Structures are given as C-alpha cells and as structure tokens.
Amino acid sequence: MSASASSGPLLVISAHAGDFVWRAAGAIALAAARGDRAKVVCLSYGERGESARAWREGKRLEEIKRLRRDEAEAAAAELGAEIEFLDAGDYPLVESPELVDRLVRVYRDVEPAVVLTHTLADPYNGDHPAAARMALQARVLAQAIGYDAPGEPLGAPPVFFFEPHQPEQCDFKPNVLLDITSVFDRKRKAMECLPAQVHMWDYYTDLAKRRGVQLKRNAGPNLGLPHDTRAEAFVRLYPQTTTELA
Amino acid sequence: MSASASSGPLLVISAHAGDFVWRAAGAIALAAARGDRAKVVCLSYGERGESARAWREGKRLEEIKRLRRDEAEAAAAELGAEIEFLDAGDYPLVESPELVDRLVRVYRDVEPAVVLTHTLADPYNGDHPAAARMALQARVLAQAIGYDAPGEPLGAPPVFFFEPHQPEQCDFKPNVLLDITSVFDRKRKAMECLPAQVHMWDYYTDLAKRRGVQLKRNAGPNLGLPHDTRAEAFVRLYPQTTTELA
Amino acid sequence: MSASASSGPLLVISAHAGDFVWRAAGAIALAAARGDRAKVVCLSYGERGESARAWREGKRLEEIKRLRRDEAEAAAAELGAEIEFLDAGDYPLVESPELVDRLVRVYRDVEPAVVLTHTLADPYNGDHPAAARMALQARVLAQAIGYDAPGEPLGAPPVFFFEPHQPEQCDFKPNVLLDITSVFDRKRKAMECLPAQVHMWDYYTDLAKRRGVQLKRNAGPNLGLPHDTRAEAFVRLYPQTTTELA
Amino acid sequence: MSASASSGPLLVISAHAGDFVWRAAGAIALAAARGDRAKVVCLSYGERGESARAWREGKRLEEIKRLRRDEAEAAAAELGAEIEFLDAGDYPLVESPELVDRLVRVYRDVEPAVVLTHTLADPYNGDHPAAARMALQARVLAQAIGYDAPGEPLGAPPVFFFEPHQPEQCDFKPNVLLDITSVFDRKRKAMECLPAQVHMWDYYTDLAKRRGVQLKRNAGPNLGLPHDTRAEAFVRLYPQTTTELA
Amino acid sequence: MSASASSGPLLVISAHAGDFVWRAAGAIALAAARGDRAKVVCLSYGERGESARAWREGKRLEEIKRLRRDEAEAAAAELGAEIEFLDAGDYPLVESPELVDRLVRVYRDVEPAVVLTHTLADPYNGDHPAAARMALQARVLAQAIGYDAPGEPLGAPPVFFFEPHQPEQCDFKPNVLLDITSVFDRKRKAMECLPAQVHMWDYYTDLAKRRGVQLKRNAGPNLGLPHDTRAEAFVRLYPQTTTELA
Amino acid sequence: MSASASSGPLLVISAHAGDFVWRAAGAIALAAARGDRAKVVCLSYGERGESARAWREGKRLEEIKRLRRDEAEAAAAELGAEIEFLDAGDYPLVESPELVDRLVRVYRDVEPAVVLTHTLADPYNGDHPAAARMALQARVLAQAIGYDAPGEPLGAPPVFFFEPHQPEQCDFKPNVLLDITSVFDRKRKAMECLPAQVHMWDYYTDLAKRRGVQLKRNAGPNLGLPHDTRAEAFVRLYPQTTTELA
C-alpha cells in the first residue's frame, strides 16, 4: 500500500452538514493530500434532526442553520475540501426531481472519479437513505447524453457507502477498509470543528482505532503497518474493475 | 488501470484438474506475465465426475487420471504456472484433516499474496464447496504459529472465489472484474489443451466477452478500453485494504 | 412468563380498518388488560381494497366506509382500545408528507412505549408497506426536538411488525411469539365484529393455535403452558435492550 | 416439455421501447405462436437514456422518440405482438398515481394470464425498478372490485421478472428457464429491427445460448433437447400453483 | 390445472419414518393416482428423537423401531407408495460416504423424475438437514458415469424441499403450492396410521387448509377451485425448465 | 429495566479458553450476581491458534495449555462462574459424535435456562463455527428422551450468539443489547486475568462503550441510563417467547 498519485475528483453527497466529517473525513483528507479536488455537497444543514443541543438552548431555525453551516465550512477547510449546501430541508429530507436535477448538475460539473454517500438502509434516519437514493439516481442520469443539463455525459464512477452510526442495523458489511493513519490528525481536527457534538469525537476516534485493528487483520503480511493504524470502512456498490487481483 | 509490477505469489486451489483453466486462466496468466510465481493445486483429477467422454469411450480409471493430468499440465505450462496434484479422489471429494494439513504445508511453502478457489455454494457439484472449505480452513491454520508444520506463519492473503458454471445458482455476485484482455490468447490456448471438453471453449470465450462488456460498464470513464475487452469475474471474500478509494 | 404490570401506551398503525383485529388483537387486549392505553390508528377504512363483498352487494363508497368504521369501532371496544381513522384513502394508500405529519402528532400525543405496524414487504398489498414506511418515518421525526409539532420529543419506542396474510412471501420471520391465551376469547369476539370477513375467523383462529404450538416449542421447559396455548407472531425491528438474557 | 395450447393473454410492461426485445422476445413469440394475445406496454420510448447514438448524431427529442417508436413497432410486429406507448418520459421515469391508473386500465382490458416486467433492483438504471413497482402496484389495484376503472376485477396472474443487463448486480437469480429454441429466429429478427443497438444483437444471442446450456443442465433426462437449445431466464415472483410437481 | 398423465417416478428421501406423511403425503398420493411409481426412503425410524411417547411408556429401542416401521408401512400403503428403511440411526443421523453411496444406488435404481427431501436449514432438528445434504450429494454423484454403482447415469431430476414444522425459522419460502384436494382424504388416513403423534393430525390438516387458501390467492382466476382446497407447500431448488410461462 | 431475580442456570460453550471473557463476561457476571449458576465449557485451550505470544517466547504445548487454563480459571473465578475444559484440541477443533455426546451430558447436568455460544459464520476462525454447530446439535439431542445419556430430557432453552471479533464479516446483526454497566468492573478485571492478550483489554472496553451508546439509542425513553452505560451485543437464534411486548 504505497503512496498514491492524483486520481481525479472526489464527490461526497450527504444528507446533513456533519455527516461527511464523522463518516468520510479520512477519505476526503487523503484525496486533498494527493492533490485531488474534493467536493462535499450537503443536501441540508441537519437543522431539525441533528441539532438537539441548539434547540434545547432555545436557538431559532435560521440561527441553527447558520451555525451548522459555519461549523461544516470550518471542518471542510480543515480537510482541504470545497463544500456546498443545497438547503433542501431535513427531517424529512423530501426527494424530488428538482433536487435530483441539481445533483446531476453537480456531477456534470465535478466529473468525479469517486463518489461517497450514505447507505440505502438506515432505520434510525430516513434522510440518509433518501440522500443516497438521490445521489445514485443523479449519477445514472448524468451518464445519459440525452439528459438535458450542461456538461459532458458522466463516466461511471465507483460509489462507496460510508459508515452509518449503527452499522449492523443498516446492513453495512464493509468490503473496503481505507488506511487513514497518515491523515487522522486532520480528521480529529475536523471533528473538533463541531463542538455541539462533542460526545462524538471520542466515539469516532475509537471507531477509527477499531477499524484500524480490522484493517491490519485483513492486510496480509502487515509488517509495515504501525501499531496505531487508523481506518475508515466503506461498502463498494459496483464491482471493482482492475488489472490485478490484490 | 496501469501495468503492474510484481506483487507476490498466486495460489489457486481447485477440486478438479480443469477448473483453473475455465475459471482463472486469465488471472494466472497475468500473474505469470508480471513475473510472479503462480501455483495451481488440484485436489483431484476430476476423474469420475468431469470425464464423461472418457468413460463413454471405455477408458479405465488410471488411464483417465493420467489423461487429465497430462492435459492440465499442458494448460498450466501454457499459462506459465506450476501445477501439483494431490490425487485425493473426486465424486465425492472427501474432506479430512489430513488433506487440510497438506494444504497448510502448501500455504507455508508458497506464501501466497493472493488465493483463488471455488465458491462456498454450488448445488451442481459438491466437490467445489468441499475444496473451498478446505482451502479456507487451511489458510487460517497456516497463520497460526502454533500449528505444527514447516515454515513461517502465513500472513492473511486476500481470497477470491472464481466463477462457477451457473453463477446465480451459486450465489455468485461478482465484486471484482479483472481485465484479462492482454492475456486472453493464452487463456484460449490453455482451454484448447483440454480437448475432451471442446464444448466449453466457446462457452468460456463468450463468458469472457460478456464479463468484458460488464467491465467497461463499471469502469468509469473507459476511454482507454478496447472494444474487445475480455474479463474474468471474482468475488472477494475479505474486505479490501487500501490507501486509496478507486 | 409471569403477569405484567403497566408498561406504557401501545400504538398500532395500520393501513385498513380490519388489520388490527386479525394481526394484533391479542397484543392489544393484553395491553388493555394490564391497564395500559391502547390506541389504534387506521390510515384508511379499506373501503376499496378490503370490502369486496360490500361492493358485490352494490353498496356505495360512503356507505362502505361507514360500515367499515362501525365494525372496527365495535372490535376496538371489545378489546378495550381507542381507535382513530385518518380516512386517507386506500388502493392505493398514497404516501405524503402531510400524512406523515399527522402521524408525528399522534406519536407526540400518545407517547407510546410500544409500536405495532405492518411489514415493509408485502407483494399482495402495497398499502401495507406504505403504511409501515410512514409509521416508521413519523416515529423518527417525532424524536427530533427540532420537528415542529406539539408535545415533547419522543423516546425511541420498540417497533414490532405484525403478521401478514402470507408470512413467508413477506419475508416475515417471527422473532417474538406473544402468549395471548388469556385474552384469546376477546380476540375471537373482536373478529366476530367483522361479519363481512367471516371466512377469516377460523383462518386466524387456526393461526393462533399454530403459533401457540410453536410458542410451546420455543419456550424452554414449558410445564406451565396449557394445551390450548394461543399466540401471535411478531418481528422486532430494533435490537431488544435488556438487563437479562431470557 | 410438449407443445402447448392457448393459455391466455400475455402482458409485458417495460420502461423503454427496446427492453421487451432483448429480455422477453422469446416468451412473446412463444405466446403468439400458441395463438395467445401478446401485448407490450412501453412506459417511455427510452428517448433520453437509451438512445446515445441518436443524440451523438445530433437528432432531436421528437425525432428520437419517433425513431424508437418505429423500431419497436417493427420488432413487435415481427414477434406477433401488439404494442402501446404511454410516453411518460424517461431518465427519470417518474412514478405517479396517474400512470399507475393507466396501467390498471390496461390490466382490466387485457386480462392477462401472465405478466412480465423488470426486476425490482437495478443499480444501473432507476427507470427499470420504477416500471416494475408501478406494474406490480397496478396489478394489485386491478384486482380490487372497489377500484374505479372499467372492466372486471382482475384475477391474480403470475408475474415473471425478465433478465436485466447485469443479472447478478440486480439480485436476479433465475428460477425459470424458458425454452425458446423454436422461436429464436424470430427473436433474432426482432433484435435486428433495432439497428441503433447493433452491439446488443450478439450479446443477447450469446446469452440465449448460455441460458440454453443451463436449461439443458437443469432439464433432467434431456434426450430430446437439441444441441443448440436457446433459452430466456426469468424470476417468478409469486409461488407457482400446480397439480403436479415437475 | 388439469389432470395429469404419468410423468415418471417420485423419490422421497427423509430422515425419520414419519416425515413423509406430514410433509409430502399429498404429493405422494397424487403420483400414485397418476400411476407413477412413488418410493419413500427413510434413513432412520426416528426411534430416538421422534418417539417420545413410546419412551415414556417404557418401550425399548428395538420395539420402538418395529413400531415405527409398522406405522410407516401402513401409511405408505395407504398412499400407494413403496417404502424402504436404511436404519442408519437418528439423533444424530450421522453422515457418511457409505450412507451416501446407498442413496446413489437408490437413485440409479428408481431413476426418479422428481425428488423430495428436507430443507437444508432446520435449527430444531439436525437430522433433517443431514438427510437433505446426503440426498443432494447422492443425486449429483448418481449423475456421473464415472461413479462406480450399478445402473445408468442419472438425469438431473428437479428437487423440492417439503415443509418443515416451523417454516419461517427454516428459511422456507414456498415457491410451489401443490393442489392436493383430490387426495386429501388419503393424506388424512395416512396420518391416522401414526397414532403416537395424534396431536399432529389436526395440526397438519389445518396446515393443508391454510396452504389451500394461499394457493387460491396465487392461482390467478380461480373459478374452478373449490372452497375447501387443500395444498402442500414446497421450495424448488433448481430452476424450473419449461416451454411455457404459466 | 429493573433488577432481576434468579432465572436459572447459564451455560456458555466456547471454542477456546479466552472467548468467554471478551464476548460474554458481562452476561456471566450478571447471572452470578443474580445468584444463578453460570457454567463455562471450553472445548479447547486455544493452545495453538490463540497463543501466539507464548509460542514466540518458545513455550511448549503442555506449558501453553496449562498457562491458558490457569488464566481462564482466574477469569472465571473473577466472574463467579464454574469452568470446565474438554481439551479437544484447536486449530482445528475437529467435530465428532463423541465430543457432541460430552456436550449432551453437560446439558443434561446443567439444565440451562440460557445458552451462549459462537456465531455459525466466522471466516477468520473455523473453530468458532465448529463449536457453535456442536453446541446447537447437542442441545437438540439433549431434548430427546430417547437419547441415551443420564438425566432428564432438556427443555428448549433460548440460545444467544455472542459477538465475534469482526462482527459484520460474521453476519452478526445484534438483536439483543444487554446492559452490563453494573458488572463492567468485573468484566474488566476478568480481562486483566489474560495478560498475554493485553492489546484486547482496551479493544473490548471500547466495544462495551460503543454497544452502550447503541443500547441507549434503542432503549426508548432512557432517562434512567447513565452516561457511561456499558453493553454486550447478542443475536438470539430462536424466537423470543413472552407475555408482553417490550
């Protein structure tokens, strides 16, 4: 597992403002470190469903949205990523052809080499599968030359689902473990940009350790892997294409 | 998908003498072309279950085994692989601790970087899952320092199931498509070393085309892929470990 | 399995007026017998899809709805439950944010300790999964302090799917068998409140016997269980939380 | 497997104009050959998502739709089938109660004895599952006497999913293999009515061979089956009902 | 669903002496009524695991085996079937190459057109899956010309799993419902040949009613089906091969 | 979730000497705290596969077995459990009727109210599923009055699979979360009795935290649950039987 050269843009499509940090900050920081464009699209701010503390403190809707936006922008900056907010509302995030069309335009603009999004099942949060369904639908539409949107037809970039909060309940069986040891410090700093969810910092630090232990167990002769290996887990949706089994 | 440097030995464990040709000749030829050691272990010759024509011609058991052996050796030579026959009998291939122990010793000797074997389900051929179960068990045993066999404890090489004859009935959902275009001629020649199964030559040539079409559909912007791309399909058993999503 | 003290309100969300009787009358009667509030919400009357006899007799839509309502109210009274009809139409029951919002308000009002609804798969009746999806979505929304509806944010009450008409075809694999022997007479009487579906009375009486036999087979040393044990089957959606394995 | 007498109308519901040719032309030609009515309903022309060549040639939307229509009509004529286009748009095919209602009316009119449609999963094409969901929902609605549409309530015709382009990725595990040898020439001619997709002619000819080989392997004592048996694969959704196991 | 002409021998392979009665008596009686040979092979008498009453009455092993044998022979005679006991012992039924070989010889002798056996999963009774595994393995071996046993190589007869006692827990999702109305009287009489399990008579009579109701729901326009339709449920293991979808 | 009275013996069947500590120490300590008998049966010491450090230090087989035994006995004592070693060998743990028979005798002696064992799938360790298969088979055999072993026929105690090292890869989807907060100190102390696996202490402490967070998310109104809730996860094999949904 050697260092990698640039391999093309990374696109992350998430339901709420904080998701990309807990679930994919390592992948994002790795892309940025390689010099690849990394773009995060948040369909909503998570203003209703993921901001319990702010509501308990009596904050109001617009204030909460601004707060979430600021935090997410700080985290994205920490990781070296662009971020865009579609402000489509959460709890529920309502699917619509218009919203899918906006995502098609993002695909045509970014021309991602890799796409990350939520799992298609999540019995704890209906917004997550809704975001995933739209992300997948838009990816297919963007491939059609006949779809009326600016830009060239998209290739067929691979899609990876990032890890949900309770993986087994979401039928999340990881088939890719990504070594994020070299950028874990940046992931931790990005997490610390989200002070309202301070209890998550350690939860996801522990998870990175746990996935790191598993990576070492699956890495074959792992002589080069350090004791404190950190990892993120993903599920690859489409078959991997390759010229070499490894 | 660029050319690859040497990445370590390939070990293929199959139930019968011909399996490695139909199901994995492309992967084997690619490894040999990279300069990697490729070793095929056949648990039996397929003398009873896979030699219908020879039986109909009135040949006898030892004659059939020799015939199968000769053909398989020729095919392996065509691919640049070593081949070893354990002559454990087929139809049924009976699992035993002794046979597993022999496989442990093969693992300790070859120290494979990649392992190929049958699927764990195959309602048409009980020898295939039996071979797979023993291949997997031996791989785990070979990792234990306390297991009493020569050589060093094995790392944890990735395992890929190669494609069975009726994939859907064997719950074979490919998650890796391997581009074998550059070595397909050698696969065809290896198939032609098995004249008793001439009806399979075109069947598996067609399959390579079919998997090639699918590879192109899953390969993202596939500008570089030729019209006649050829592929083999595999199922990866353990999570992929990587430093880059792609 | 001893008698139980009050454990909080039971909420049943169903697509049509009769569903709660065939599928959950025992659970409802048990709750009422414990002194717990039991509330049934019928999204429709089942006026188009579940009233074949009335249509064949030439009755008209409003008449059929009134008839179904009267019958369901009688059955609910027999069981000791409240009942509310949202009159959202059936065949098809159309999902909408407005209907989900009405359910959120029910959740906030009832504050259920337990929720019952349909399975998420039913190839014989699309209204059932539609009801289940809305029931589950509303439950999650009701937990968010930021969701704009009266009342306090909901806890996370357990959800149980009740038994569909052809369980295997709906991927219904029961993981809870509820002993309803003590209230089976009330279930039978509630069924008899639905004269238009007289052929179902024995069908669901036989089912209660069948599930009762299975309960005894799964109940460990079942010395205390009577010969005529009656049961209802459920699928628990979320993990059980407990202080004791049993 | 003897010749069959008339067994009632066949209804094929597909997303795009070409689908019925690649996936079900054999089943259609067999029905026509038996003297049964065969009706194909195309929800769209596939004008945006399945007409890449025409778009690259600079054709315009209406022109493309007309082209696709003409080709599909020629193919249907070759097979002896009626064809109707609902022109509901593709990429995306948007589900709506109105479109479902149109399908209900088709069901009530055709009174099919057998229904064919897409699989419920297809990660490469969201229109396919959308068509399947509407086809299945309309079938259930058409069975309800209370559903307000002309004609008699439908019986419960069996439903078969036809084969998607990448079957394993769509969880397509065939449980029916249909012998189309006697009509394969007509299927090939129908394919040749679609010149824009000439690369598919051989792909689906090869597939028919492949499924034919599998049919022979599953056909018991297959003395009567010719060497060049051709087949189409299907997944039966509901249980088969029969008076004889075979 | 018309009356059927002879279609070849039926072979039923079961773990214990009584299984064929509860699970497949209807299919057996239908075959006999068509004039087909029907042969039941019982791997054991069920002397330890299925004879609780006899043990409680103080009977001894040989006596119990004789009792079970007499009852099963009477039931088979009632159905018009041959029966053979391999007396391999139960609780546990131990798998062995020798026992599989005996089954191969049965296959070669009977040349079945249809095979019935247990499901591959049954968490309540390990003998059932053991019997199924051996039945399936022997069927594959009997197809090989190279397998050393008298008779001709077997074709590839379809296999159906019959219904276990708790179907959902055994992952039994019926895909065939067999109309046994015309022979249900004989099934009941065969059940009554097993007085030690009198509590099962009504349980399986109720089940036949239940499966009959389901058959009618899946039978399309079912004008000809009587109110008291009786059915048995099966799972078909291999794809159905046919010349007509129905 | 209130404190519990005695509910009967707990039986834990594991492959190796340390498994019960990492995977079930909380459940064991809870049982002991209630005054219930808790018995651990270790089929082997894990002398070959789970003692890498000792082998690297040059220790010999008998020494390693004694070491593992001493450690496990200390851990069991810490938890208040009995422990028995069957010394059947590991890597591989070979299944045999004799070993199953020994387990039947344990069941008949302990008469467990609850049984814990490994999952049936574990691609990292074949001994774990082998232990689980024997534990399940013996449980069924022990229920048969005709099985020749001392003691009374067993009831049908519920079985729970405890958590494997890489849960998702073992298809472990928890459906029971057990609150072990009150006994977590004892679990930690029991872990510390196993100094050779010091890297596991924190791994499983972190896991208990993680499962604790999940328990709180699934516990409904969880006002009473402390911030540092600790939990163990289990999969219940058979349906829960109950008189109350909760």
E84 φ/ψ angles, rounded to the nearest 5 degrees: -135, 140
Q: Which of F168, F207, F213 sits opposite A168 (nearest CB)?
A: F168
The pLDDT, as a whole number, for residue B2 is 39
Contact between chains at D234 and E245 (C-beta distance less than 8 A): yes
Q: Domain boundaries in chain A? A: 10-236
Is residue E2 over pLDDT 70? Answer: no
Confidence class of residue F227 from pLDDT cuts 50, 70 and 90?
confident
pLDDT tens by residue, F17-56: 999 999 999 999 999 999 999 999 999 999 999 899 999 9
Q: Which residues of B touch D169 (CB under 8 A)?
A: 173-174
Q: Which residues of D touch B122 (CB under 8 A)?
A: none
- CB atoms C155 and F220 under 8 Å: yes
Residues of C within 8 A of E167 (CB-CB) are 168
Write down the residue that tokens 């790392």 correspond to.
Answer: B155
Q: CB distance C141–A92 less than 8 Å?
A: yes
* Residue segments in chain D with a per-residue pLDDT below the cut of 50: 1-3
Is E5's Cβ below 8 Å from some Cβ in D? no
Q: Could you tell me how many CB contacts below 8 A there are between chain B and chain F?
A: 40
Which of F16, F91, F128, F166 to mutate to probe the B interface, most B CBs <10 Å? F91
Closest residue of chain E to C216, computed from CA coordinates:
E166
Substitution target from D60, D91, D93 for chain A, most A beta carbons within 10 A: D91
CB within 8 Å: C219 and F241? yes
Q: CB of B97 within 8 Å of any CB in chain F?
A: yes
Whole-number pLDDT of residue B224: 76
Chain C positions touching D136 (Cβ under 8 A) are: 123, 126
Distance from C-alpha of E66 to C-alpha of E69, rounded to nearest angstrom? 5
Q: Which residue of C has its CA nearest to A125?
A: C140
Q: Quote the minimal CA–CA distance from C240 to chain F in Å.
A: 5
CB-CB neighbors (< 8 A) of E210 in chain C: 203, 206-207, 210
Q: Which CATH class is domain B10-236?
A: alpha beta
Distance from CA of A32 to the nearest CA of C (A): 34
pLDDT > 90: what percent of chain E?
91
For chain C, where are the E strands, in sequence order? 10-14, 38-42, 82-85, 114-117, 159-162, 176-179, 231-236, 240-242
Residues contacting residue F164 through CB under 8 Å, at least 6 positions apart: F23, F118, F119, F122, F124, F125, F128, F170, F172
pLDDT class for E199, splitting at 50, 70, 90?
confident
Contact call for F and E: 3+ CB–CB distances under 8 Å: yes
Contact F244 C113 (CB under 8 A): no
The answer to whether the CB of C145 falls within 8 A of the CB of C153 is yes
- For residue F6, pLDDT beyond 70: no
CA distance D83 to D80: 10
Digit-coded pLDDT (tens) for F215-224: 999 997 656 7
Task: Say yes or no for a CB contact (<8 Å) between B206 and D206.
Answer: yes
B and D touch per CB criterion (3+ pairs under 8 A): yes
Point out the residue among E97, E146, E239 whose CB comes nearest to the CB of B48: E146
pLDDT, residue A124, reads 97
C51 inside 8 A of chain D by CB? yes
Q: Inspect the interface and report whether the beta carbons of B238 and F169 lie closer than 8 Å.
A: yes
- Chain E: give the shortest CA distance to residue D75, in Å: 21
Kindly give the residue spans of alpha helices, DSSP state H, lying in D111-229: 127-142, 184-192, 198-218
Give the pLDDT band of residue E221 (cuts 50, 70, 90): low
**Is the CB of C206 less than 8 angstroms away from the CB of E209?**
yes
**Would you call C49 and D147 a contact, using CB atoms and an 8 Å cutoff?**
yes
Average pLDDT rounded to a whole number, residues E49-69: 95
Minimal Cα distance from E219: which residue of D?
D241
**Is A214 within 8 Å of chain B by CB?**
yes
- Taking the CA of residue F199 and the nearest CA in chain B, the distance in Å comes to 18
Average model confidence (pLDDT) across chain E: 95
d(CA E185, CA A58): 73
Which among F163, F241, F242, F243 is the top mutation candidate for probing chain C, defined by the most C β-carbons within 10 Å of its own β-carbon? F241
Q: Is D141 on the interface with C (CB under 8 A)?
A: yes
Mutate to test the interface with D, among A134, A145, A159 (most CBs of D within 10 A): A145
Please give the pLDDT value at position D76. Answer: 98
CB pairs under 8 A between B and D: 35
All residues of chain E having their beta carbon less than 8 Å from the beta carbon of residue B51 are 146
Give chains near C: 3+ CB pairs under 8 A: A, D, E, F
* Residues of chain C positioned with their CB less than 8 A from the CB of E226: none
pTM over 0.95: yes
Instruction: Collect all residues of chain F within an 8 Å Cβ-Cβ radius of residue A214.
Output: 166
For residue F92, say if its preceding peptide bond is cis, omega within 30 degrees of 0: yes
- The one-letter amino acid code at C97 reads P
- Contact residues, chain E, for C206 at CB < 8 Å: 206, 209-210
Kindly report the number of other CB atoms within 10 A of residue D216's CB atom. 18
**Candidates B163, B168, B171, B203, partner chain D, best to mutate (most D CBs within 10 A):** B168
The reply to whether residue F210 touches residue A213, judged by beta carbons under 8 angstroms, is no
* Contact by Cβ (8 Å): D26, D180: yes
Question: Which pLDDT band holds residue B3 (cuts at 50, 70, 90)?
Answer: very low
Contacts of A91 in chain C (CB under 8 A): 140-141, 144, 146-147
Instruction: Give contacts of F219 with chain C, Cβ < 8 Å.
Output: 155-156, 241
* Interface residue C140 vs chain A (CB under 8 A): yes
For the residues E186-213, what does the mean pLDDT come to?
95
Query: F165, F166, F168: best mutation site toward chain A, by most A Cβ within 10 Å?
Result: F168
Q: Which residues lie across from F38 on neighbouring strands?
A: F10
Calpha distance D75→D69 (Å, rounded): 10
Interface D–E counts its CB contacts (< 8 A) at 134
A225 vs D: CB within 8 A: no
Query: Rounded CA gap, D241 and D246, in Å?
Result: 12
E139 and E115 Cβ atoms separated by less than 8 Å: yes
Q: Does the pLDDT at position E222 exceed 80?
A: no
- Residues of chain E found within 8 Å of residue B55, distances taken between Cβ atoms: 145-146
Closest among A167, A161, A160, A159 to A207, alpha carbons compared: A167
Angstrom distances, CA of residue C67 to CA of C61, C62, D216, E143: 10, 9, 56, 62
Which burial class, exposed, middle or buried, applies to C228 when counting CB atoms under 10 A from its CB (0-12, 13-18, 19+)? exposed
CB contact under 8 A, C210 and E214: no
Q: Do E124 and C217 touch (CB under 8 A)?
A: yes
Distance CA A63, CA A55 (A): 10
D179: part of which helix (H) or strand (E)?
A: strand D176-179
Low-confidence ranges of chain C (pLDDT < 50): 1-3
**pLDDT tens for chain A, residues 1 to 246:** 334 566 899 999 999 999 999 999 999 999 999 999 999 999 999 999 989 999 999 999 999 999 999 999 999 999 999 999 999 999 999 999 999 999 999 999 999 999 999 999 999 999 999 999 999 999 999 999 999 999 999 999 999 999 999 999 999 999 999 999 999 999 999 999 999 888 899 999 999 999 999 999 999 765 678 889 999 999 999 999 999 999
Task: Give pLDDT, residue D199.
Answer: 86
CA of A45 to nearest chain F CA: how many angstroms apart?
Answer: 22
The helix/strand count (H/E) of chain B reads as 7, 8
